[in-house]
Structure 1
Amino acid sequence: LTTRELGRMIRETGMDFVNLPSEKFDAPMGIATGAGVIFGATGGVMEAALRTVSEVVTGKPLECIDFHAVRGLTGMKEAEVSLDGTVVKVAVAHTLANARLILEKIRRGEADYHFIEIMACPGGCIGGGGQPVPISADIRQKRIDLIYECDQSHEFRKSHDNPAIKELYDTWLGKPNGEKAHHILHTHYQQQKRQ
C-alpha cells in the first residue's frame, strides 16, 4: 500500500482525517524511535545503524547521535566515522546511477567501505513512486527536513533504546544476534527450479 493509495482510500471514504482524535499506536510495535523515522531519507538507514553500532562496539553512549555527513541530497556521499579510535568507512547513494558510481570505485580498488547504503529512489523512500506527486528536489528536501524534525522530537532516537524491542528480545528472542533471534529474524533464500 503506497502513500498515494492510502490518501485515495481516505478521500473515498469521506474520512475527515485532519480532525480525527489523536490515538496511540497499538502495542508492541507502537513505540517508534527517531532512527526508524529517518529510514525514509537517503542516509537514514546508515545513520540509524551508526547510532546503534557505535554504542554496541564502544559500550559508551554517543555524545552526538546526528551523523550529518551521510545526510542530504548529494547523490553519493562518503564519510569516515571514528568509533572509539576505529575508523569505519561508509558510503551512501540514492538512485541507481549513483549506486553504480560506488560499485565502480570498489571494482577499481579505489574504495574499501565497511558499510554501504543504497536507495533506488531519488532522496530515498520520500521520493519513491508511491509518494504524492509532483516530486521536485525542493519537495524532497522539505520532506527530508521534516523527517529529521520528527527524529528530534522522539523520546527514543536510537533503535536499540526502544523499550518494546528490548522487551521482545527479553521475552522471546534472547540476545541480539543470538541463535534464536537469527533463526527467527533472518530470511534465507535458495534457488528454486522452474516448473
Structure 2
Amino acid sequence: MTASRSARIEAEDSGPHRPHTLGATVSADEFKAVFRGHPGGIAVITAQGPDGPVALTASSVSSVSVDPPLLIFSTSVLSSATPAIAAAETIVVHLLDADDLDLARLGATSGVDRFADTDAWTRLSTGEPVYRGVRAWVRCAVVSRMDAGSSVVIAAQALQAHVERDIPPAEAGNGLVYHNRLWHRLGEHSRVD
C-alpha cells in the first residue's frame, strides 16, 4: 500500500455530503458569534494554479494525525484562490507567527496580486510557490476534498517540512492568532500557566 493511499481519507458514503435535516438550527449570526470568541492560528496556503500561483489566508488549519502526518483546513468558495487550491495535487501551508503579519494580511486581501513582490517568494524544486522567511512551511499532497456548505474542506499529507524560526520548548514564542475579527500576537504576556 502506498503512503498516499494509506493517507487517503475515505467517506462512508461516496455521494455528495448533505446536512441531515435536524429541524431548527442556529442562525448564521449566532454561529458567527460563537466562533468570534474562538481564536485560530494563522496560515497562508499556496498552490500553482492553471493561471499562475495563488494564495489565501486561513485560520482553520489543524494537524489531525502524525502517522501519517496529516493536516486539514477549510476555505470559502467565495475566495478567488479556492478553485486552484481545491484542484491542486500539492500545496504549501505556511504557518505564520506575528513577524509574518504582513503576509497574513496580503493573503486575506481581495483583489490584489499576492505574488507581485517577486523577492518575497520563490518556487520549490517541485514547482509550488513558497513565501520566503516565514516561521515554518509544509509541502503537502492533497488526499481528500469535501464540499461543506459554503466551504471546501481539504485534508493533506505532509511531504516536506521547513522550520525557519523554531520555538524552544516551554517558551511562549511569537504566535499569530485571529480572534474577534482582529490579529493578536501571542507571547509571555498571554501565557496563563
Q: TM-score, structure 2 length as denominator?
A: 0.30
Q: Which has the larger radius of gyration?
A: 1
Larger strand fraction of residues: 2
Higher helix share: 1
